[in-house]
Amino acid sequence: MCGIVGLYLKNQSLENQLGSMFAPMLEAMTGRGPDSAGFAIYGDQVLDGSTKITLRHPDLEYDWDTLADRAQTHLAVSVAFMRNHHAAVFKVATDAQTASDYFATHAPEVALLSAGQSIEILKAVGLPAEISTDFNLTSMQGSHIIGHTRMATESAVTLEGSHPFSTGQDLCLVHNGSFSNHNRLRTELAYHGYQMKTENDTEVAAGYLTWRMDQGDTLDQSLKHALQDLDGFYTLAIGTKNGFAVIRDPIACKPAVLAETDDYVAMASEYQALTSLVNIEHARIWEPEPATIYSWQRDSQQG
Amino acid sequence: MQSINLAEHSVRQLNQLLHDQCNHFDQSQWQVSATSGQHNIACGLNQNLEVNIHGHVGYFCAGMNQLAHVTVHGNAGQGVAENMMSGTVHVKGDASSAAGATAHGGLLIVDGNTGARCGISMKGCDIVVKGNVGHMSCFMAQAGTLVVCGDAGEALGDSLYETVIYVKGKVQSLGADCVEKPLTKKHLTQLKQLLKSAGAEEDPSQFKRYGSARQLYNFKVDNAY
């Protein structure tokens, strides 16, 4: 089953309300996914040449200060971090590869959830409402956000199997459905040099889009390729640094509803998750067509 | 008239009150508000009730309907009026996929568009959609009529049995064993009547009729044991 939700702000003056607008959407999808939940939020962008990295350690008492000091000394660049429950968002004044490599090599005890200039991924096992409270979602700000509530099917109820998955800088997707060719795609991606971290099918879809975009595809082009190469039943909501997209497979078995006003674009598995949004009664509401790409992009200047 | 606010009552409470009318029929007019896209609203009714639902509804609204006249003043989720036996269900907005699925009787009217698989496996109901229908509509449909005033998506009427389909607009493609058939006087009369019942002001002569070519496995006597 699973529930997916996304909210993309067109009106920048609402950015300080992103988390409070989104939290009820995520919680409304508890019935579709009570096992684990998570979200990828975009905002608070760092400058070119710097990187934001979300790290997680299961121990709430983990000593992030020491890790930051060690990273700063080793990389000889400025390192700052913000702790949030059992995760911490690090801002490192170096490129994403260098920063990711450092943590992978020197802090194997922490899991790297996302890397980029804008993205932060926070996820955990448990009910969406608990996860929303633990990470203080309602106080979060940003330009867009996608979230997932999981009812596990393809792999176990673990943090590793929790969504969302990010496999490339600032790229993230949430998925409702299942892919039938993920094992073959995983092998092909490995051949191209993209090593997936889990057995989960959704990670493969994220990896696929990362590979396509690394090949020079725009978001829309990568999704056009995805419609050809991803086999299965799926509705996807995708976030990039400046963009937001929704696609459904050609059979369109998995549900999706879109709503758009002058202020926002919202997507959810079910209309129930949209009822809390301001002005929803005047929104244009529609069901996305099968095999059709819906995307919204901000000017790069706007960040 | 009885008004039920679903912010104050559960769907289960609402449905129980509506079902109670089978045994003690004392209230025919019902209003439902604050629906918030909840599932299973006004399911399993079996009395000549008039139920007006204000707001968008989730899955299976007015499912298994018998006798009742249910109007949704909003959009409906998947499977609206699924397995309807009689009565009418009128969606003023759009309906999602599988609208009228397996319905045996009654009339389903959708003022807007429907998603995929409208009238899938329908068994005798009439469906009038004033907008478009999505792909695989009337898949394995056995009896009854689908009228589409707009366009139809891919594979219309795939593996059709005896359901009759009328489409005014474009048909993206016909499914296996579904063919265009002549619009005879008898069909024009039937179509006119259906359009009238649905309050659709369309000229019946502008529609095309589609039905089963009866060439698939189950139509071949040689395949009988």
Contacts of A274 in chain B (CB under 8 A): 37
pLDDT tens string, chain B, 225 residues long: the values are 999 999 999 999 999 999 999 999 999 999 999 999 999 999 999 999 999 999 999 999 999 999 999 999 999 999 999 999 999 999 999 999 999 999 999 999 999 999 999 999 999 999 999 999 999 999 999 999 999 999 999 999 999 999 999 999 999 999 999 999 999 999 999 999 999 999 999 999 999 999 999 998 778 877 766
* A237 contact partners, CB below 8 Å, separation of at least 6: A4, A5, A6, A146, A173, A174, A244, A245, A246, A267
Specify whether A102 is located in the same domain as A246.
no
Contacts of B139 in chain A (CB under 8 A): none
Query: Is residue A222 domain-resident?
Result: yes
> How many separate domains does chain A show?
2
Specify whether A176 is located in the same domain as A288.
yes
The rounded distance, in Å, linking the Cα atoms of A165 and A170 is: 11
Residue type at A233?
F
Specify whether A216 is located in the same domain as A90.
no
- Band (pLDDT 50/70/90 cuts) for residue A301 is very low
C-beta of residue B134 within 8 angstroms of C-beta of residue B156: no
pLDDT, mean of residues A238-251 = 95
pTM for the model stands at 0.93
- The single residue of A2, A9, A125, A236 carrying the catalytic annotation is A2
User: Where a domain ends, among A62, A87, A117?
Assistant: A117
Specify whether A75 is located in the same domain as A161.
no
Distance of residue A64 Cα from the nearest chain B Cα, in angstroms: 43
Query: Is residue A53 domain-resident?
Result: yes
- In this complex, do B37 and A274 lie within 8 Å of one another by their Cβ atoms? yes
Model pLDDT, residue B220: 80
Q: What are phi and psi of A204, to 5 degrees?
A: -65, -40
Contacts of A286 in chain B (CB under 8 A): 94
pLDDT, mean of residues A8-22 = 97
Strands B123-129 and B107-110: parallel
pLDDT digits over A148-191, tens only? 999 987 678 888 888 898 888 999 999 999 899 999 999 999 99
Query: Is residue A303 domain-resident?
Result: no
Question: Is A2 known to be catalytic?
Answer: yes
Residue type at A17?
Q
The rounded distance, in Å, linking the Cα atoms of A17 and A296 is: 19
Q: Judged by CB atoms within 8 Å, which residues 256-275 of A form the interface with B?
A: 270-272, 274-275
Specify whether A145 is located in the same domain as A279.
yes
- Band (pLDDT 50/70/90 cuts) for residue A50 is very high
Q: Give the chain B residue whose CA is nearest to the CA of A252.
A: B116
- Domain extent, residue A66, equals 46-117
Model pLDDT, residue A167: 85
Specify whether A271 is located in the same domain as A168.
yes
- Band (pLDDT 50/70/90 cuts) for residue A85 is very high
The rounded distance, in Å, linking the Cα atoms of A169 and A188 is: 20
User: Where a domain ends, among A117, A141, A176?
Assistant: A117
Model pLDDT, residue B222: 77
- pLDDT at residue A47 tops 70: yes
Report angle CA B169, B174, B176 to the nearest 5 degrees.
160
How confident is the prediction for chain A on average, in pLDDT?
A: 94
Specify whether A87 is located in the same domain as A235.
no
Model pLDDT, residue A144: 98
pLDDT, mean of residues A187-215 = 92
Model pLDDT, residue B225: 64
Specify whether A113 is located in the same domain as A198.
no
Distance of residue A56 Cα from the nearest chain B Cα, in angstroms: 36
C-beta of residue B127 within 8 angstroms of C-beta of residue B170: no
E-strand spans in B6-141? 29-33, 50-54, 69-73, 88-91, 107-110, 123-129
- In this complex, do B36 and A272 lie within 8 Å of one another by their Cβ atoms? yes
> From the list A272, A285, A290, which residue is nearest B75 (CB)?
A285
The rounded distance, in Å, linking the Cα atoms of A4 and A237 is: 7
The rounded distance, in Å, linking the Cα atoms of B107 and B105 is: 7
The helix or strand, by DSSP H or E, that contains position A202, with its residue range, turns out to be helix A201-214
> From the list B56, B116, B135, which residue is nearest A271 (CB)?
B56
CATH number where A35 lies: 3.60.20.10
- Does residue B209 or residue A303 have the better pLDDT? B209
Model pLDDT, residue A303: 35
Which region among A65-79, A188-202, B30-44 has the lowest average model confidence (pLDDT)? A188-202
Specify whether A158 is located in the same domain as A203.
yes
- Band (pLDDT 50/70/90 cuts) for residue A300 is low
Model pLDDT, residue A155: 75
Specify whether A18 is located in the same domain as A85.
no
- pLDDT at residue A53 tops 50: yes
User: Where a domain ends, among A117, A144, A159?
Assistant: A117
Residue type at A109?
E
- In this complex, do A252 and B134 lie within 8 Å of one another by their Cβ atoms? yes
pLDDT, mean of residues A82-88 = 95
Specify whether A111 is located in the same domain as A10.
no
Quote the DSSP letter at residue B114: B
- pLDDT at residue A302 tops 80: no
The rounded distance, in Å, linking the Cα atoms of B43 and A265 is: 32
Query: Is residue A302 domain-resident?
Result: no
Specify whether A191 is located in the same domain as A278.
yes
> From the list A252, A272, A289, which residue is nearest B58 (CB)?
A272
Tokens of residue B78, six digits? 């998947």
Q: Give the three-state DSSP class for A282.
A: helix
